[in-house]
Amino acid sequence: MLELGMRGELRATVDFSMTAAAIGSGSVEVLSTPYMIGMMEMAAIRAISGGLEPGQASVGTVVNVRHLAATPIGFEVTARAQLLEIDGRRLVFGVEAFDQSEQVGEGRHERFLIDFDRFMARALAKQRSSAG
Q: Which of 9, 13, 19, 41 is catalytic?
A: 41
pLDDT of residue 130: 82
**Bridge partners of residue 79, in order along the sequence:** 10, 97
**CATH 3.10.129.10 is held by the domain 7-131:** yes
pLDDT at 49 over 90: yes
pLDDT value, residue 59: 98
Q: Is the pLDDT of residue 131 over 80?
A: no
Q: How far is it, in rounded angstroms, from Cα 31 to Cα 38?
A: 11
Query: Structural domain boundaries of the chain?
Result: 7-131
Per-residue model confidence (pLDDT) at position 36? 98
d(CA 48, CA 102): 26
pTM comes to 0.95
Active site residue 71: no
Confidence at residue 129, expressed as pLDDT on a 0 to 100 scale: 87
Catalytic residue among 9, 29, 33, 106: 33
Say whether 109 is catalytic.
no
Q: Is 67 a catalytic residue?
A: yes
